[in-house]
Structure 1
Amino acid sequence: MEENKTIKKMLGNMLIEIADAIETGKYRKKIKVGLTTLGSEHGVENLVKGAEIAAKSGIDFDIVLIGPKVETELEIIEVKEEKEMHKKMEQLLDSGYIGACVTMHYNFPIGVSTVGKVITPGEGKEMFIATTTGTSSAHRVEAMIKNAIYGIITAKAMGIKKPSVGILNVDGARQVERALKQLNENGYEINFGESTRSDGGCIMRGNDLLKGAVDVMVTDTLTG
């Protein structure tokens, strides 16, 4: 009896996948990406609205909300508290039900950090800030070198073939510059950007940040 139920479920899932493929023209299984909705400064309503906009834009994955019950057509896994929410997120990731998750205020281990994408206020350009949360390393210079690589990887994944890289003028910036240039000389190609200031160079100031002078702005996580 249990075996029959499993077979029926598999067949049902296959038929749904075929129907989706006919409708969208994409013949592959969609992954599920979770979004936790509690604990953000933006509030639950804004996060849900953003998820709904993304879902309608033709993205190639399904969004699963993890949080309190709200009025939406998106799938929701209901939880009432942040602690319960992150525990449920971990369970869903471990089980493979979701392939990834976007969350806030989660205690990442050292070595994990996130690259943020922003629209710069000066000229409305897209820019990646590497990084914005988490801690790549306990040592600032090492962390910023890793952040630069993470930023380049992210920018390339988003379709920028040769992203320009700048280093924000914070403590350790010159050491990071030397290390990245050595890395470039040794074969890892880095396209260093130029500051909009008259003295140029890849060390960036506040105006460069506001204008979006480079595709990837490297900084320490706290500043980011």
Structure 2
Amino acid sequence: MKFFIAIPSATGSVTLDTMQSIVTLTNWLAVKQHKWLMQHTSSAMLVYSRNTLAQSFLASDCDQLLMIDNDVGFTIHALEAIIENDHHCVGANFPSRHLDIKRFYMRAREGLPLNWCLDEARPLVNSGVMESNAIHIVETIGTGFLKCDRAVFQAMIDKGIAQQRLLKTLSQQEHQYDFFSPFGLDTENQLGEDTAFSYKVRRAGYTLHLYHGPGLRHTGPMQHETL
């Protein structure tokens, strides 16, 4: 197995905690005898970074994409839970850093919408959602820590779900497949980035899975960790 480690950024920087987590990841992959390729791309519009990295992944000989935001930290525990399964697309949702985690878990247990998940990702929750290591079928995942098979992106292209559009900058122009924004969807003005990606994955015929367990954290001055 060969993994494409993609690190999108809106600022051009990567936090120290994220880099330490990446070192943990590459060491773990070496122990498991997996190969890997890494790329970091920055754009003020984060969705462009995600699309660029996804296309670089498809142009490589890698089997799976690991997309890790530049302000995300993780432990071996979370890493193994997300990678070591047969699911085609597994993501994680991060509670917002400024809200009460007890309130988040209370609403999760009651099956209420988790409106403060990063980028408005709203998973379907059930009575088992609080289980450690549990991975559940959901309608929406966050893309801040994402594992996705090559076949998922290829299906979005083959079925016309991820449409091409021309991107122009001061120095160049290029056509780019749009996997992560609502471009091309009937409801394009109503969907956030994570919700749009999740919708396209489901339209391509794949099931979304969510890891909802310990070991994931936002880093930086307003850090938050799932317990």
**TM-score w.r.t. structure 2 length?**
0.29
Structure number with higher helix proportion: 1
**TM-score w.r.t. structure 1 length?**
0.29
Rg (Cα) greater in structure:
1
